[in-house]
Amino acid sequence: MQKYIDSFREMISLRGLTDHTIRSYTTYLTAYLEFLASQTDKKPEEATWQDMRDAMRFIQQQRSLSDRTMNAMISQLRFFTIYVLHKPWDDSQLPKRRFDTYLPFVPSKDEVWTFISSLSDLKQKAMIVLLYSSGLRIGEVRHLKCADIEHSKMRIFIRSSKNRSQRYAILSDYAWNVILAYWRNHGKPTDWLFPQQRDISRPINHSFLPRAIREHLAVLGWDKPFNCHCFRHAFGTHLYENGTDLLTIKNLLGHKSLISTTVYVHLAHNSFHGVTSPFDILMEERNV
């Protein structure tokens, strides 16, 4: 089984994906290969379409995976079949699932303030402040270099983004003070802004901040779906509530399409201010 995983990792690494994404993709492929070995005793190149469908059902039930996640798994299995097994793929054999779309959780301004102000760890605080004050992704925060913080121009250079496109993000005055306090308190790093403790030549682990957020939620006694990305959503939503236009928010967040940015219209608490229901108008016209 390991030779298939190694070949898969090699092929997807050629696409330039991050180590975190490669590990995520490999997890689902491993589950598929384990199913074939334990349930069918077949090699991957011998698997039928029915074997693949059975594997999908089994893995989804066993791990309680969402339909959105199953679509990602189908895409990975397609990649494995074409680029590792060198076999043709038929989309009609494993159709993508339909799934419900939910609005993301967005903390209020008060909740953001309470969460950040109650943090005592300067590294955690600096990272979360960057998520919220500049609308960065966790991967973008992790891969910040000290030189990327351009205080004289009040901007942050984003060299490593999800869309593989560089951009500038805004630098908050208050965020700068938190970053500076962290930098002085943590040995004044010169390369990565948030290096690993054991190996300063590498950026901080992806798991550091999600774990810190979960631990701080427990300290606060909050049962809320906080995660790294909700602070980015809060950045976009609160900007829109404050009157910033969607095109500016799109550029600040580094969205490829304005469609991605329009979600903040739905998330903003004042989206419907000034809008009157036609039923109310109808009733008023008839003096009801």
For the domain that residue 51 is a member of, what is the CATH number?
A: 1.10.150
Quick one: CA torsion of 233, 237, 238, 241, rounded to 10 degrees?
Answer: 180
What pLDDT is attached to residue 163? 61
d(CA 56, CA 211): 30
What pLDDT is attached to residue 183? 97
Quick one: CA torsion of 26, 27, 28, 33, rounded to 10 degrees?
Answer: 80
Q: Is the pLDDT of residue 288 over 70?
A: no
Q: How confident is the model over 155-210, as pLDDT tens digits?
A: 999 987 666 678 999 999 999 999 999 999 999 999 999 999 999 999 999 999 99
Q: Is residue 180 part of a domain?
A: yes
**CB under 8 Å to 74, separation ≥6 — which residues?**
56, 94, 96
14 SS3 class: coil
| DSSP states along 110-157 | HHHHHHHHT---HHHHHHHHHHHHH---HHHHHT-BGGGEEGGGTEEE
What pLDDT is attached to residue 269? 78
d(CA 211, CA 227): 9
Work out the average pLDDT over 91-102. 84
d(CA 135, CA 133): 6
Q: Are residues 77 and 113 in the same domain?
A: no
* Total of domains in the chain: 2
Q: How confident is the model at residue 280 (pLDDT cuts 50, 70, 90)?
A: confident
Answer yes or no: are the C-beta atoms of 60 and 70 closer than 8 Å: yes
Q: Which domain holds residue 67?
A: 2-83
d(CA 207, CA 222): 20
What pLDDT is attached to residue 25? 81
Name the average pLDDT for the chain: 90
Q: Is the pLDDT of residue 113 over 90?
A: yes
Span between the terminal Cα atoms of the chain, in Å: 74
Pull the structure tokens for residue 142. 């992790």
d(CA 25, CA 78): 12
Amino acid at 41: D
Which one of 49, 83, 117 terminates a domain?
83
Nearest Cα residue to 126 out of 187, 174, 159, 167: 174
Q: Are residues 133 and 168 in the same domain?
A: yes
Which one of 190, 209, 225 terminates a domain?
225
58 SS3 class: helix
What pLDDT is attached to residue 272? 67
Q: Are residues 18 and 66 in the same domain?
A: yes
DSSP for residue 205: P
CATH number of the domain enclosing 150:
1.10.443.10
What pLDDT is attached to residue 38? 92
> Distance of alpha carbon 127 from its chain centroid, rounded?
15
